[in-house]
Structure 1
Amino acid sequence: MDLRALTLLAGANSSGKSSVMQPLLLLKQTLHEDRYDPGPLKLDGPNVVFTDAGQFISQVAVGQRPRFEVSLGVGKDRGRLLYEPSAAGVTLSETGVSVGQAPEIIMRDGSVVSARETAVLLELPGLEAEGKNSIASRHGIAHEIPLVPWVSIAVVDGVLLKGSVEFPAVGWKTHLSNDLMRLIHLGGHRGNPSRRYPRSVSSSDLRPGVFHEQAAGVIAHWKQHDPASLDALQSAMRTVGLGWSIEPVDLDATAIDLRIGRTRETSRAARDLVSIADVGFGVSQSLPVLVALIDAKPGQLVYIEQPEIHLHPRAQVGVADLIVEASRRGARVVIETHSEIILTRIQYHVAKGTLPPKDVLVHWFACDPKTGDTTVTAVEPDAAGAFGDWPVDFAEVGERVDREYIEAAWKRQSGEAG
């Protein structure tokens, strides 16, 4: 699936929108696990929760082997992971890596599967002499070659981590693992409002877990070190209608409370600050969305599920503008949405010229009611922001509801008049 500067996932409920991002989230929570070896994939994490591989692997016909493959590309470097279910969850049965224009190197169970691919491996620049000698001393098929840290994709495989020969980093490790660990993820439910939030936050761009648990810490960090971002947040809150200001207040050495200013009157500002737990539920759900979009750095992937939840239509317009602004700054924003307002507002920015059509891609998901198979249609807008002949039914539903209301109102008035 192609990801642009701004990618939208739209379609009916249970059509596969969230499922398409789950492989990335599985890899993310696996890479972030530093308490123990999670094996090939950490199934039960903060981003996605499974207890068995059968819960996310497609059902296949009798006689076929159930498996799934995750393929990722960063620049000219590409990697793929082939997983199969096992009693322990999943097994990484095959890894394929290609660097630049070099042929793909295929590994099974920690071994390169052909001498030709071993030769390609030996030709990689920067490989230490000890590593070359270790590999060259064993010819033929099924050489046991430790592939970490050279192939960072193998970081998710606990078996491949057990090796002695260290290969040089050639860019793949840095790009892929960092991109996944920097991924900002906001689910559809962003916790319950609280009077006590942890103040700690990573000083780097790494964002482990779900972002709503870190948003308060990011705001506190901005107050001390990045007032421009805090000002941008307060401006966004006013635009969206979440409040006039926000103030992180120290409770003790480990926790803060978030106080929301409800009025613009300076004379009342100090006494008008109330805890986020005492304002509408929508504030605690929507505030992390604003923080994530402002926090996102160039090249950083931001995945937000249903940013429109709990928002008034006018506020949805403001959030759509922030989404566009984040993508224009260089962040890669992926939005799962049911909001016609957000889609239309993005079309507006394309037509206005503030968002190039090539930077936008909408993936429309449709589920066959008979087979359960999902069809994904990718559409890029034209220069006027139009998507052409595509399967989105938002407008059709809106028109039908309006028409039914007008007809019902006309009949009622006609009956009363008669």
Structure 2
Amino acid sequence: MLTDLRLFQFKKFKDESIELFPLTLLTGINGMGKSSVIQALLVLRQSFDRGELQNNRNLVIEDKELTNLISPDDMLNADAESTDVSITIEDDNIGSATWKVRAEGKSNTLPLVDNVQNEMYVISLFSTTFQYLKAERIGPRATYDRLTVTRRHSPIGYSGEFVANRILEAANQLEEVQLEKVKIEGQSSKVYDLLSYWMSEILYPDSKVVLGSSDASKIDLEYTFKNQPTKKFNPLNIGFGFSYVLPVILAILTSKPGSLLLVENPEAHLHPRGQSRMGHLLALAAESGLQIIVETHSDHLLNGIRVAIKQKKLGSNKTQIHFFTEEFKDTNKQSFAIEEDGSLERWPKGFFDEWDNMLTELLKDS
């Protein structure tokens, strides 16, 4: 499991260490570095995918699918005292490694300054079980493409574009969920069956995912509902929430213990109740051995995790909140835990306090 990420002169961070837990929440105001944390990990992954890291050659900062840092200068911290940029990660089994480059010139392939031992490349970030889901996932589609090539990782697609193909694969192989806590006692542990269960929990009661085939290159993905069980609804007719949450649930249900999932805004297009239930599912997955790094703006998702901790469904020592803001001197963030009773170790100014701020305004005398 990844336990620490240190960023030196990387984008918003002059020199910052971000401790990583089984469930790590990145939250805070826009433009303060939440996405940069995930981008740093993706830069390492895309460089590995091109064979650059393991051959001690280059750091690739531009990729058409994963992440694009635009240019070496854009990657460099605005207050940098040199052109040195480094990303250091620590794993609880292997130890730590640092990838250092000089952010200069115009090339988006930057030579590594030092060598890194190859045993580092067995960790979860570089595994075939690694999965990443962007904030900008695909919306409803009339049909979905079949995947005709093997993906090294993230078989659902970074935007959920291959979600139907991955569901079909799981259904055909009678694939079982491996994360114990997300299974439901007395119910099937098949991925296909639990997918409908969690869609019902998070979105709409008694929803069911139904697959079909239009032709050899397309997959139909439809839904049925309790009040009209014989009628199938195309995703185009039921809104964005179903299409946006489906890849997140599927990514969890198809993950293995010890693997890593990066997910941006899993709460997107969800009703507040659905957001809290998503938080509950993330907590169960983390307790089952999946490491999850989440970027979120949802207090409802946070509260779902807090309730799960109070209910003893996730250990309080397995989660950490990193709040990114300008409020603190010499750092972009403040980190704090969720206590065993679900309360927060601290509640800094600006941290999900807008409800109270607006209520105060409403209660003021005219």
- Find the counterpart in structure 1 of residue 326 from structure 2: 367
**Of 226, 237, 246, the match for 1:264:** 226
Whole-Å separation in 1 of the counterparts to 2:77 and 2:167:
41
- Find the counterpart in structure 2 of residue 30 from structure 1: 47
- Which 5+ residue runs of structure 1 have no aligned equivalent? 98-150, 153-170, 412-418
SS of the aligned residue for 1:319 comes to helix
Whole-Å separation in 2 of the counterparts to 1:177 and 1:239:
30
**Of 37, 40, 51, the match for 2:70:** 51
How far has the Cα of 1:11 moved from its partner?
0.8
Q: Which moved more, 1:15-24 or 1:242-251?
A: 242-251
Q: What pairs up with 1:142-157 in 2 under 5 angstroms?
A: 151-152=117-118
- Whose strand proportion is higher, 1 or 2? 2
Contact 1:60 / 1:66 at 8 angstroms: preserved in 2?
A: no
**Of 253, 262, 269, the match for 2:216:** 253
* CA offsets 1:37-56 (integer angstroms, 9 cap, x no match): 99531513312123312222
RMSD: 2.7
How far has the Cα of 1:10 moved from its partner?
1.1
Contact 2:203 / 2:270 at 8 angstroms: preserved in 1?
A: no
Structure 2 residue 113 is matched with structure 1 residue 94: yes
Structure 2 residue 291 is matched with structure 1 residue 332: yes
* CA offsets 1:291-337 (integer angstroms, 9 cap, x no match): 11222211111111111111111111211111111112210011111
- Find the counterpart in structure 2 of residue 108 from structure 1: none
Q: Flag the 1:72–1:310 CA change in 2: closer, same or farther, 3 A.
A: same
Contact 1:350 / 1:356 at 8 angstroms: preserved in 2?
A: yes
Q: What pairs up with 1:287-298 in 2 under 5 angstroms?
A: 287-298=246-257
* CA offsets 1:331-364 (integer angstroms, 9 cap, x no match): 0011111111111221222222221111011111
How far has the Cα of 1:281 moved from its partner?
1.8
- Find the counterpart in structure 2 of residue 237 from structure 1: 199
Q: Which moved more, 1:348-357 or 1:374-383?
A: 374-383
**Of 309, 323, 338, the match for 1:350:** 309
Q: Flag the 1:226–1:329 CA change in 2: closer, same or farther, 3 A.
A: farther
Q: Flag the 1:378–1:394 CA change in 2: closer, same or farther, 3 A.
A: closer
Q: Flag the 1:14–1:24 CA change in 2: closer, same or farther, 3 A.
A: same
Whole-Å separation in 1 of the counterparts to 2:115 and 2:337:
30
**Of 334, 338, 350, the match for 1:377:** 334
Contact 1:306 / 1:337 at 8 angstroms: preserved in 2?
A: yes
**Of 102, 113, 129, the match for 1:84:** 102
- Find the counterpart in structure 2 of residue 165 from structure 1: none
Q: Flag the 1:91–1:204 CA change in 2: closer, same or farther, 3 A.
A: closer
TM-score, length of structure 2 as denominator length: 0.80
How far has the Cα of 1:368 moved from its partner?
5.8
- Whose helix proportion is higher, 1 or 2? 1
Contact 1:3 / 1:361 at 8 angstroms: preserved in 2?
A: yes
Structure 2 residue 141 is matched with structure 1 residue 194: yes
Whole-Å separation in 2 of the counterparts to 1:30 and 1:288:
25
Whole-Å separation in 2 of the counterparts to 1:343 and 1:46:
29
Structure 2 residue 106 is matched with structure 1 residue 72: no
Structure 2 residue 122 is matched with structure 1 residue 174: yes
- Find the counterpart in structure 1 of residue 6 from structure 2: none
**Of 139, 158, 163, the match for 1:215:** 163
How far has the Cα of 1:96 moved from its partner?
4.8
Q: Flag the 1:178–1:363 CA change in 2: closer, same or farther, 3 A.
A: same
Q: Flag the 1:367–1:226 CA change in 2: closer, same or farther, 3 A.
A: farther
Q: Flag the 1:395–1:197 CA change in 2: closer, same or farther, 3 A.
A: closer
How far has the Cα of 1:93 moved from its partner?
3.5
TM-score, length of structure 1 as denominator length: 0.71
Contact 2:124 / 2:130 at 8 angstroms: preserved in 1?
A: no
The sequence identity of aligned pairs, in percent, is 24
**Of 387, 400, 403, the match for 2:344:** 387
- Which 5+ residue runs of structure 2 have no aligned equivalent? 1-17, 176-189
